[in-house]
Amino acid sequence: MAQQATSATGQRSTGVTMSERIKRVLRARETGVLIALLLMCIFLWQVSPAFLTVRNLLNIGRQISLIGIMAIGMTFVLISREIDLSVGSIYALSGLATGMLLIAGAPLWLALLIGLLIGVSAGAANGLLSTYGLLPSFIATLGMMSVLRGIALLMTNGQPVTINESSGVAPDTLSAFFFIGQGRLLDVIPMQLVFFIAVSLIGWILLSKTVFGFRVYAVGGSDKAARVSGIKVYQTKILAFVIMGFLAALSGILSLAFLPSGQAGRTGVGVELDVIAAAVIGGASLSGGEGTILGTILGVLIIGVLRNGLVLTGVSPFWQEAIIGLVIILAVGLDKWTSSRRRAA
């Protein structure tokens, strides 16, 4: 009898645990985004059978990769209760600088290293201005957006940067550079998608499985509480901006490797809107302290699938921009409304 009672109690406790887990999953912001993504895919499959072909799905994966890589970095920044509006300028400056170094005859590894260091330096500058400089990150990064864009224009004299053999790049260097942007792993998976997957895995481990990830959430939840707990708040925020700068630079380099021509006045203009939108759609809160890498990936997929579906269904490019804008407004509005309800509760 005692054994039966113990067994029954264990079953009840297990049942409660499973019930709580199911409720927790259903309440998660990512679940809603996933359901929306699945419904969108089903609708587009019915409207256009070409949507679910392997070729089109790989094409979507390639198209979302650069935005996705930057959105991973933006997730760290948003969770720490900051924002970065300079990602488009970092994207342009790092990519164009890498291209100009290759044209000047620099080895590929050196050109890539300097391009990435430019992104890291820009991220560090954003972090320092937003912490020790006591400037709101919105203002600091808005200013840096113009500063970095101006540097790119001065560096290129406003002229396009084109990477090819006629510009003086060695054939072997050109082939290796093009592979990271245009190549395919096993002749199937686009290299840009490979980079996105790798960055997503590293970002997930860093945010979910390390002390640094815990500190990012703590800082985003409350600066004062984090400081009392012994967390170096400024250092954590600066590192989040550095990650953002590095990933924006990586995306800019991959972009130039895919489409080997860019212009400082056009490259990366407005890209920060898609990056922020993807992270917010995926559940990263503008109020800080919330967000996951999985959610950001789903947010990126929402935008990518939506853009691809609008093209397949023949929607006018003008309407495409309007629809994407409405999705961004709804996503930010949902973030604010849910945050207000949680505070009220």
Q: How many domains does the chain have?
A: 1
Residue 311, domain member (yes or no): no
Q: Choose among 267, 29, 10, 7: nearest CA to 148.
A: 267
Q: In whole angstroms, give the CA distance from residue 117 to residue 149.
A: 17
DSSP 254-295: HHHHHS-EE-TTTTTTTHHHHHHHHHHHTT--TTSS---HHH
Residue 47, domain member (yes or no): no
Residue 263, domain member (yes or no): yes
Give the bridge partners for 261, in sequence order.
162
Residue 26, domain member (yes or no): no
**Can you give the residue range of the structural domain that contains 140?**
65-269
Q: In whole angstroms, give the CA distance from residue 323 to residue 307.
A: 9
Give the bridge partners for 185, in sequence order.
189
Using the Cα atoms of residue 163, residue 169, residue 172 and residue 177 in order, give the sign of their dihedral: negative
Residue 198, domain member (yes or no): yes
Query: φ, ψ for residue 190 (rounded to 5)?
Result: -60, 140
Prediction pTM value: 0.89
Residue 243, domain member (yes or no): yes
Q: Choose among 62, 23, 73: nearest CA to 296.
A: 73
Residue 197, domain member (yes or no): yes
Query: φ, ψ for residue 149 (rounded to 5)?
Result: -65, -40
Q: Give the pLDDT of the chain (345 residues) as one tens digit per residue.
A: 444 444 444 444 444 577 676 666 556 667 777 888 888 888 888 888 888 888 999 999 999 999 999 999 999 999 999 999 999 999 999 999 999 999 998 999 999 999 999 999 999 999 999 999 999 999 999 999 999 999 999 999 989 999 888 888 888 999 999 999 999 998 889 999 999 999 999 999 999 999 999 999 999 999 899 999 999 999 999 999 999 999 999 999 999 999 988 898 888 888 998 899 889 888 888 888 888 999 999 999 988 998 888 888 888 878 877 887 787 777 666 656 665 555 555
Given a contact cutoff of 8 angstroms between Cβ atoms, the answer to whether 114 and 101 are in contact is yes
Residue 339, domain member (yes or no): no
DSSP 80: T
